[in-house]
C-alpha cells in the first residue's frame, strides 16, 4: 500500500477536509492580533488553520520554511503545506506580460522564461504557480488581456503547452513548479468586457475557440486546474459539473487537482445558485471542485455534509488523495522544505543569464507598428529628446508581477544613458501619466505601485514648455506614453481604450514642433491609437516589457535587435468595434463581398470593419517578398498536403520572420471563420536570403468542433493563405476528398 493510501486511512474527517482548504498567509503568521482578525472574519478556529492543506500567495525561503516548520509541529500526521502563488511571467526577474510574449510567436522562448521563473520561485519556497492563464481574449476592454497570449486558439495552445513544460521542468526532481492552468473556462469572454461578468458562449465556440488552450495544458501535464469566476450556460464554473467532471475528467482524463479561484465557492451565493455557504459547499464539491481557495465554505461545512450523507465520503477521499498525490509528486513528504533556500535565492534572483533572457524576450515581444521612411533604427549621433511619463518610469512590469520589484526595472532613460553621450540625450517627463489616480483603487497582491500624484499646474506648464523646447532641439523625439500599470490586469476593465485625452493632445503638440517622432507605448491591452498614429513617424508597442524593458527597447531603437514581434491580438480603430478579431465568421452580408447594395452589408456607418493593426502584423528592419505558393490541387483521406512558399529578404538586414499558414473551410455544415491559423514557422533570414518554407497540411487541421464537442472532418473546398500576417498573404485553394 502506498504511503499516501496509508496516510489517508489514518486521517480524521476534519484532517481530510483541511486538505481541501486554502488559506492566505495572514493565518500563518505569528502575530496573534493578525491571525485572530482573519480567523474571526472567516469564522474558523486555530485547529482548522492547523489542518489546512495549502497557503495562498506566501513566498520567500525564510518565510515559507518558518511557516512549514511551525505547521508540521502542529500537524498530527505531519502532512506538509503546499505553497501556491501567482508566478505568471516571472518571479524576481520579470519577463514581458503574457500578451507581449504572445507577440514573440516563440513557444520555445517562452518555455525558457517559465523555467527561469520556476527556478527563482522554487528557491523562494513556492510549489505551485497559478499559471499559465489560458483564457482566449477578443475584447480589449477586459483588463486581463495582459495575462493572455491573445485571440488565437492555436497560438495560445502552443504557448500554454510551452509554459506548462517550462514551469514543470524537472518537477519530480525538486526543481519545477506545479502548473495550475486558469481560468477554466471561458473567463476571457465576459459580456461587455466587464471583468467577472456573465459569459455567453455557444457550446460550439467554447469547444472551437476557448477550450483548446486549457486542453493543451492538460495534455502537457499540468497538475492543477483553476475554476473561473464566470458562468457557463448560466452555471458558475466553480459549480459546473459539465465543465469540471464531464469535460475535464471524463473527456480529457485530467486526474490532477481542481481549485476554485479566489473565494469563488462563496460567490455561488451572489451568483444566485446557492442559498448559503453550506449549499455553496455542497454544489461546488459535488460538481468536482477539490480545493476551496480563501473562503469559509469547505472548512465550515464539508464535514457536516459528509456526516449527513450529502457528500459521499468516497468522493471526499478521492479529492483528498489528489491533493496528497500532488504533495507526493513534489516530494514534500521526504523534504517539506523542497527547494526553499535563502542561499539559492541569492544565487538565482536577477541572475545575469535570467536578465539576459528577459532582455531578449522583451525585444522579441515588442511590435514595431509603424516606421515611416525607415526612421528606425536610429543612427549614431542622432540627438534625441526622450519625453513622457514612461521616459524614466520603473513601473513597467505589469500588474501580475506579484514578486517583481520595480526598483530593479531598467527604465528607458537608464538604458539610453548607457548608449548615448550626455549631449545626445535630453529627457523630461513632459506630462502626467494620468490626471487622476483615485479610480485605480488598490491591488493587494501588487505592493510596489505607490500612490502617485499629479503635477501642479505650475509644474505642468514648466514640463510642457521644456518638452516643446527639447522637441525643437532634437533630431528625433521619443514619446514614452501609455496606460498606468493598474489600468490593466484584474478588475481593470475600461469602456474607453484610447490613450487619455491629455496624452493625445500632448503627443499632437510635440509632433507639431518635432522633426521626427517615435511613439513608444507601455500598456497591457490593444489600445485605440487612431487619434495618434497619423501624427507620429514610428510606433513601437512595448507592452509592459518587464525588468529589462528599457534595455530591450534601446536595443531595438539602435539596431542591436531587429524587431520580430507580430500582434497576437487585433488593435481596433474605435471602442465600438470591440470585440474585433481576425478569425470571425463571414456573415451573410460580408462587407468585402456581398451582392447587396453597399448600405445593406455588415458594416458600420462611421468606421471601417477592419482593425487598425491586424492579427499577426508587425514590422521589422527587413522586408520580405512572398512568391511561388505551391500545393497540390487536392488531397484525400489518409493523406497530407505539402505546401511551399518562397520568402525573400529584400534587405541587408538579417531577421526573424514568422511565416503563418491559415485555412478557410469554404463550405461546411456550420459556418466557418474566414480564416484560421493552422501552423506557423519562425525562420531566421540572412541578409538578402531567399528561403523556401514548407508546411504540411493534415486532416487534423481541417477539422472543427460541433456543438457536442465532437471533431468533424468534412470533404470540400478550402482556401489557404500563407504569409507574414493575417493580411499579407498569398492565397491558394485545394479540395479535400473523403475517399
Catalytic residue annotation: 261
The residues that bridge with 479 in the sheet, in sequence order, are: 387, 519
> Contact, 557 vs 478, CB < 8 A?
yes
Return d(Cα 497, Cα 574) in angstroms, integer: 8
Which residues of the shown chain bind ligand GLC in the complex (CB under 6 A)? 57, 86, 130, 182, 261-262, 445, 490
The residues that bridge with 384 in the sheet, in sequence order, are: 425, 476
In a 10 Å sphere around its CB, with 0-12 CB exposed, 13-18 middle and 19+ buried, how is residue 114 labelled? buried
Distance between alpha carbon 382 and the CA centroid of its chain, in Å? 36
Least distance (Å) between residue 67 CB and ligand GLC: 17
- Of 347, 345, 285, 350, the closest CA to residue 317 belongs to 285
- Of 468, 466, 556, the closest CA to residue 512 belongs to 468
Considering beta carbons, is residue 129 or 341 the nearer one to ligand GLC? 129
- Kindly list the distances between the CA atom of residue 642 and the CA atoms of 16, 104, 698, 736, in Å, as whole numbers in the listed order: 56, 26, 9, 13
- Kindly list the distances between the CA atom of residue 546 and the CA atoms of 32, 425, 524, 597, in Å, as whole numbers in the listed order: 37, 23, 12, 50
Considering beta carbons, is residue 256 or 572 the nearer one to ligand GLC? 256
* Composition of the chain by helix, strand, coil, percent to 5: 35, 20, 45
- Of 167, 182, 173, the closest CA to residue 90 belongs to 167
Return d(Cα 98, Cα 84) in angstroms, integer: 20
- Of 687, 690, 684, 679, the closest CA to residue 723 belongs to 679
Return d(Cα 548, Cα 567) in angstroms, integer: 20
> Contact, 309 vs 286, CB < 8 A?
no
Considering beta carbons, is residue 264 or 306 the nearer one to ligand GLC? 264
Least distance (Å) between residue 568 CB and ligand GLC: 19
Q: H-helix or E-strand containing 5?
A: helix 3-10
Return d(Cα 295, Cα 21) in angstroms, integer: 8
Considering beta carbons, is residue 289 or 316 the nearer one to ligand GLC? 289
Least distance (Å) between residue 148 CB and ligand GLC: 11
Least distance (Å) between residue 300 CB and ligand GLC: 21
Considering beta carbons, is residue 56 or 324 the nearer one to ligand GLC? 56
Considering beta carbons, is residue 261 or 548 the nearer one to ligand GLC? 261
Considering beta carbons, is residue 83 or 130 the nearer one to ligand GLC? 130
C-alpha cell at position 596: 447587396
Least distance (Å) between residue 94 CB and ligand GLC: 17
Considering beta carbons, is residue 294 or 338 the nearer one to ligand GLC? 294
Least distance (Å) between residue 97 CB and ligand GLC: 14
Cα distance between the two ends of the chain? 53
Considering beta carbons, is residue 180 or 480 the nearer one to ligand GLC? 180
Least distance (Å) between residue 83 CB and ligand GLC: 13
Least distance (Å) between residue 193 CB and ligand GLC: 16
Considering beta carbons, is residue 91 or 130 the nearer one to ligand GLC? 130
How many Cβ atoms are within 10 Å of 196's Cβ, its own excluded?
15
How many Cβ atoms are within 10 Å of 644's Cβ, its own excluded?
13
> Contact, 134 vs 147, CB < 8 A?
no
Least distance (Å) between residue 239 CB and ligand GLC: 17
Return d(Cα 220, Cα 207) in angstroms, integer: 18
Return d(Cα 178, Cα 172) in angstroms, integer: 10
Least distance (Å) between residue 262 CB and ligand GLC: 4
Residue 135's contacts (CB-CB under 8 Å, 6 or more residues apart) are: 144, 147, 148, 182, 183, 186, 187, 188, 210, 213, 228
Considering beta carbons, is residue 261 or 392 the nearer one to ligand GLC? 261
Least distance (Å) between residue 180 CB and ligand GLC: 8
Task: Please give the full DSSP string across 149-217, using - where no structure is assigned.
Answer: --S-HHHHHHHHHHHHHHHTTTGGGT-S-EEEEEEETTTT-BGGG-TT--B---HHHIIIIISHHHHHH
Amino acid at each position: 500500500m502506498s504511503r499516501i493510501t496509508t496516510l489517508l486511512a489514518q486521517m480524521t474527517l476534519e484532517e481530510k477536509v483541511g486538505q481541501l482548504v486554502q488559506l492566505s498567509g495572514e493565518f500563518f503568521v505569528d502575530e496573534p492580533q493578525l491571525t485572530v482578525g482573519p480567523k474571526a472574519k472567516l469564522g474558523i478556529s486555530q485547529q482548522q488553520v492547523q489542518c489546512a492543506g495549502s497557503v495562498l500567495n506566501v513566498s520567500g525561503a525564510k518565510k515559507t520554511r518558518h511557516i512549514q516548520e511551525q505547521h508540521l509541529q502542529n500537524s498530527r500526521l505531519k502532512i506538509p503545506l503546499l505553497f501556491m502563488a501567482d508566478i505568471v511571467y516571472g518571479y524576481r526577474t520579470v519577463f514581458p506580460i503574457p500578451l507581449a510574449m504572445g507577440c514573440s510567436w516563440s513557444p520555445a522562448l517562452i518555455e525558457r522564461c517559465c523555467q527561469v521563473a520556476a527556478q527563482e520561485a522554487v528557491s523562494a519556497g513556492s510549489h505551485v504557480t497559478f499559471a499559465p492563464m489560458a483564457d482566449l481574449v477578443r475584447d480589449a476592454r477586459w483588463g486581463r488581456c495582459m495575462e493572455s497570449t491573445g485571440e488565437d486558439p492555436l497560438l495560445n495552445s502552443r504557448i500554454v503547452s510551452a509554459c506548462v513544460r517550462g514551469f514543470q521542468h524537472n518537477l519530480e526532481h525538486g526543481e519545477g513548479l506545479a502548473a495550475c492552468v486558469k481560468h477554466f473556462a471561458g473567463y476571457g469572454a465576459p459580456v461587455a468586457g466587464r471583468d467577472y461578468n456573465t459569459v455567453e458562449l455557444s457550446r460550439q465556440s467554447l469547444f472551437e475557440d476557448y477550450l483548446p488552450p486549457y486542453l493543451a495544458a492538460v495534455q502537457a501535464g499540468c497538475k492543477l486546474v483553476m475554476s473561473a469566476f464566470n458562468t457557463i450556460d448560466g452555471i458558475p464554473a466553480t459549480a459546473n459539473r459539465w465543465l469540471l467532471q464531464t469535460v475535464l475528467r471524463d473527456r480529457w482524463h485530467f486526474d490532477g487537482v481542481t481549485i476554485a479561484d479566489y473565494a469563488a465557492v462563496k460567490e455561488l451565493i451572489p451568483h444566485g445558485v446557492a442559498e448559503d455557504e453550506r449549499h455553496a459547499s455542497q454544489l461546488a464539491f459535488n460538481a468536482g471542485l477539490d480545493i476551496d481557495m480563501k473562503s469559509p465554505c469547505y472548512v465550515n461545512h464539508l464535514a457536516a455534509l459528509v456526516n449527513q450523507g450529502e457528500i459521499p465520503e468516497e468522493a471526499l477521499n478521492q479529492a483528498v488523495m489528489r491533493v496528497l498525490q500532488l504533495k507526493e509528486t513534489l516530494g514534500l513528504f521526504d523534504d517539506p522544505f523542497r527547494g526553499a533556500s535563502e542561499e539559492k535565492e541569492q544565487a538565482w534572483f536577477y541572475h545575469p543569464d535570467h536578465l539576459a533572457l528577459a532582455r531578449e524576450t522583451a525585444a522579441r515581444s515588442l511590435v514595431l507598428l509603424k516606421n515611416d521612411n525607415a526612421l528606425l533604427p536610429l543612427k549614431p549621433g542622432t540627438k534625441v529628446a526622450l519625453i513622457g511619463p514612461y521616459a524614466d518610469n520603473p513601473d513597467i512590469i505589469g500588474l501580475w508581477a506579484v514578486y517583481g520589484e520595480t526598483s530593479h526595472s531598467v527604465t528607458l532613460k537608464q538604458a539610453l544613458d548607457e548608449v548615448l553621450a550626455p549631449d545626445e540625450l535630453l529627457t523630461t517627463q513632459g506630462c502626467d501619466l494620468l490626471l487622476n489616480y483615485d479610480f485605480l483603487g488598490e491591488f493587494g497582491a501588487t505592493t510596489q505601485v505607490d500612490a502617485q500624484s499629479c503635477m501642479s499646474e505650475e509644474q505642468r506648464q514648466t514640463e510642457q514648455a521644456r518638452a516643446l523646447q527639447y522637441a525643437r532641439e532634437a533630431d528625433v523625439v521619443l514619446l514614452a506614453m501609455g496606460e498606468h500599470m493598474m489600468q490593466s490586469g484584474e478588475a481593470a476593465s475600461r469602456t474607453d481604450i484610447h490613450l487619455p485625452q491629455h496624452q493625445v493632445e500632448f503627443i499632437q503638440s510635440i509632433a507639431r514642433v518635432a522633426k521626427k517622432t517615435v511613439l513608444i507605448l507601455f500598456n497591457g491591452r490593444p489600445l485605440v491609437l487612431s487619434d495618434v498614429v497619423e501624427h507620429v513617424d514610428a510606433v513601437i508597442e512595448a507592452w509592459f516589457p518587464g525588468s529589462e524593458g528599457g534595455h530591450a527597447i534601446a536595443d531595438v531603437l539602435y539596431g542591436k535587435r531587429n524587431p520580430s514581434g507580430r500582434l497576437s491580438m487585433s488593435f481596433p480603430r474605435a471602442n465600438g468595434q470591440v470585440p474585433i478579431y481576425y478569425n470571425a465568421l463571414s456573415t451573410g452580408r460580408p462587407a468585402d463581398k456581398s451582392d447587396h447594395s453597399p448600405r445593406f452589408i455588415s458594416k458600420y456607418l462611421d468606421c471601417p470593419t477592419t482593425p487598425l493593426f491586424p492579427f499577426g502584423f508587425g514590422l521589422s528592419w527587413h522586408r520580405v517578398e512572398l512568391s511561388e505558393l505551391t500545393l497540390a490541387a487536392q488531397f484525400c483521406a489518409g493523406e497530407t498536403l505539402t505546401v511551399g512558399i518562397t520568402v525573400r529578404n529584400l534587405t541587408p538586414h538579417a531577421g526573424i520572420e514568422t511565416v503563418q499558414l491559415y485555412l478557410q473551410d469554404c463550405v461546411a455544415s456550420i459556418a466557418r471563420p474566414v480564416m484560421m491559423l493552422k501552423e506557423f514557422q519562425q525562420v531566421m533570414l540572412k541578409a538578402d536570403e531567399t528561403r523556401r518554407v514548407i508546411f504540411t497540411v493534415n486532416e487534423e487541421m481541417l477539422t472543427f468542433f460541433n456543438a457536442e464537442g465532437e471533431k468533424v472532418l468534412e470533404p470540400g473546398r478550402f482556401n489557404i493563405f500563407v504569409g507574414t500576417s493575417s493580411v499579407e498573404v498569398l492565397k491558394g485553394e485545394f479540395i479535400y476528398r473523403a475517399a
